[in-house]
Amino acid sequence: MNRTRVKQLLKHGAIAVNGRAITQHDHPLRPGDAVTVHREGLVPKPAKTVDVVYEDDSIIVIEKPTGLLSVANETEKDDTAFTRLVARGPVRPWVVHRIDRETSGLLLFAKSREIRDQLQADWDGVTKTYLAVVEGTPEHAAGAVDNFLCEGRDLRVRQVSAGPGAKRAVTHYKVLRSRGPYSLLEVRLETGRKHQIRVHLSGLGYPITGDKMYRAKTDLADRLGLHAWRLALAHPVSGVRVELESPLPKALKWVVDGGIS
């Protein structure tokens, strides 16, 4: 079988390891692994897809589901938002930013290295707004957190004093509504540090539901209550303002609305 045919099989999920479709040519094999290659004429299992919110010749914005990595890490290389876009084709995506695995919502990719570099250079001008379902009702209807964060060896991020390894983090929040023991907050990032929203809201005493890492006591939606809601930016080519929105997932809407539309 020639290289082109192998690439096609990988792209369409026709090669599996231990029953799981593999799309990467460098997937490691271990003793005892069972490798399956679909024969000609058989229809392979459809590759997992992504929901595209916006696309043009320069950028593509998808709606990332909760539980899916933005890009690969040491333990998961085969099924990420990036690999799903690669499988979708025909243009190779370039990673502009990331959102946590447990967070759902809008994720931006570029269609060339040059566009990616331009977007990242102008990233401070991009407005990133989230919706967070938290435990409790904040004392103030709106506010901001401005401090320093540092990631420990245990991969937890903590609020620290200014110093070596500490990075300034600024988060703005506004209470949209409350129902019983939960509140829905609009959260705007001024900086983009790892776990920034999760750490800041927990530090205020209002952890995001489902976030056991940062002191949440409940998990009614069986997921992290954080959603990348809105993304607004100047288009890297035309300069025209692009404003995109992803609705709050039903599982989170139920927590704060009791199922009311």
Active site members: 100
Computed over its alpha carbons, how large is the radius of gyration of the chain? 20
CB-based burial of residue 188 (10 Å sphere; 0-12 exposed, 13-18 middle, 19+ buried)?
middle
Measured in degrees and rounded to the nearest 5, phi and psi for residue 233 equal: -155, 160
Q: How far, in Å, are 59, 91, 122, 191 from residue 118 at the CA level?
A: 11, 18, 6, 18
Query: How many helices (H) does the chain have, and how many strands (E)?
Result: 5, 14
Termini Cα distance of the chain: 54
Contact between 251 and 221 (Cβ < 8 Å): yes
Q: How far is Cα 258 from Cα 140, in angstroms, rounded to an integer?
A: 23
3-state percent breakdown (helix, strand, coil) of the chain, nearest 5: 20, 35, 50
Torsion of CA 238, 240, 241, 242, to 10 degrees: -60
Q: How far is Cα 206 from Cα 70, in angstroms, rounded to an integer?
A: 26
